[in-house]
Amino acid sequence: MGNENSLWRSSFLPPAKQAEMLAKRALKDLRRESRHRYWNVEALDFAVRTNGVEQVLTELRQSEAEQDLIEALEEELENLSGWDFVAQPQRFLSLWRDRSFQEGWTDQRRQAEGILFDCGWASLQQQQELPNARSLETGFDPSRIGLVATSNQEFLMDVEKTQVVIWDVRDGSKNKIWKTEIDIVDCTSFFDERMLIALSDGSLWLWNLEEEEPKHWLTPSVLLSKMECSENHILGWTETGVAVMNQEGALIRLHALDLDVPPVICFSGDGQRILCADEAAIWVWSVDGNEQYHISEDGELDADEIIIATSILDMGSTSLGLKAMDRIELWGASLKEQYDLLQSMPEPLALSPTGNRLVSCEAGKLSLWEMLDVDESKTYRQMAEVSVPDMWGDAMITPLSEDCRYITAVLPDGIAAWDLIKGKVAALPIPFSFATSLTAIPQTRMVAVDNGQRVRIYRYVGG
């Protein structure tokens, strides 16, 4: 249709312009006809599977094909070493799709995407690279808070020590930038699509991202960090304890704690309880202020009870563990019942917002679990399981969907994403370091991969 419109419009152009357009079209057709057949992705994929990459490269060099094609294949050669055709039939197509995206080969990218779609294969497809988001000279900056995705799926906030850069997820453009002379200590989603920013001087700022910069909201009587918002409350850590504020920013409660190291704090999945833990104790309060649970190694416990308490404290060392224990209603049970509940619960590496679904990894198996009511008690039932290679630490597992069906993780040679229900996997051997972080963009199956040198956005496709 585009060519028909172009021809129709050209009839109204001056003769010289018409001749120029026809000449350009003829040259383009000649170039297409003279290009090597391996520019056709289907032919290239078949040749790679049948003869191997090295044989294909030999053929290309003998035919004096375009150097761009040869260089691109040479660079992908290492990524295809040890390729298991049965386990990962889509590996070359996924690599070639990503290479075509980076080279700007639109036709080849679309061909690869079409074959992947027709075959029903999963893939991680690069959508954007944020230009100059990182300095290759300075590398990773440990003072950075990092990337924060907005709830409307449109923007990524890159929060550094004294500035925030807003990136448009759709086209990878730099949307806005805000600089401050005061250090930024935290940034989180507010009750609506605004973002809440805390500075080291205690001031809180709200940013409606349709506006050019944030506005000063208030300076509460306590200095907040580690903030989290529920439907009606703001939670934060202060030097003297856990602070709870209402939507208007008024301090309504301060749970005083004398701790040397900031604890893990979070809301329960339903937003009705405040969960807090350090290595020696766990506290649970209702949002109304009543203490519902407390356990400590310093309590008057016998030897068996100390073992049980240690297990509970170990599970509560992360916000995911606290929320999972809250979801199975562990707080109201006896100490022996709490231990029995823990023995039946996997350690969560990812959790849905409500806590109804959980992802665990043990003995090379990645498992999806779902909450089940059994005899008036709650437990997690395994729904699906897939085999996985080694990963760079448990913290690298990131859900790509609220139900935890789609997840992504860092592997020793790149990143991978899974559809846990269908057992499909997509992987890409991308450069990364120990500073690599993954930031999911809500409801899009997209993830921003920040390796300290560049930021790229990928989408899980398939399944």
Helix, strand or coil, per DSSP, at residue 86: coil
* Dist. CA 460–CA 126, nearest whole Å: 9
Tokens for 450, please give them.
């920040």
Q: Which helix (H) or strand (E) holds 351?
A: strand 350-351
Q: Where are the beta strands (DSSP E) in 32-89?
A: none
* Dist. CA 297–CA 295, nearest whole Å: 7
b/e for 229-243, b at 16 or more Cβ within 10 A? bbeebbbbbbeebbb
* Dist. CA 282–CA 276, nearest whole Å: 6
**255 closest CA partner among 269, 244, 267:** 244
Cβ–Cβ under 8 Å, residues 169 and 441: yes
Count CB neighbours of 34 within 10 A: 8
Cβ–Cβ under 8 Å, residues 196 and 214: no
Write the single-letter amino acid at 142: P
Q: What is the pLDDT of residue 30?
A: 44
The residues spanned by each domain of the chain are: 1-33
Q: What is the pLDDT of residue 80?
A: 85
Mean pLDDT by 10 residues, the chain (463 residues): 46 60 54 73 92 90 83 89 82 92 92 92 92 65 83 89 92 92 93 88 93 93 89 91 92 92 93 93 93 84 85 92 93 88 90 93 90 79 88 73 93 88 90 80 91 88 79
> Three-state SS string across 353-380, please?
CCCCEEEEEECCEEEEEEEEEECCEEEE
Q: What is the pLDDT of residue 429?
A: 85
* Dist. CA 397–CA 406, nearest whole Å: 11
Q: How far apart are the first and last CA of the chain?
A: 31
Q: What is the pLDDT of residue 137?
A: 57
Tokens for 118, please give them.
């027709």
Phi first, then psi, for residue 319 (nearest 5°) are: -65, -35
Phi first, then psi, for residue 2 (nearest 5°) are: -65, -40
Tokens for 10, please give them.
């050209």
Residue whose pair of structure tokens reads 């028909």 in the numeric block = 4
pTM of the model: 0.83
Q: Which helix (H) or strand (E) holds 424?
A: strand 424-428
* Dist. CA 161–CA 141, nearest whole Å: 9
**22 closest CA partner among 3, 46, 42:** 3
**267 closest CA partner among 199, 191, 343, 158:** 191
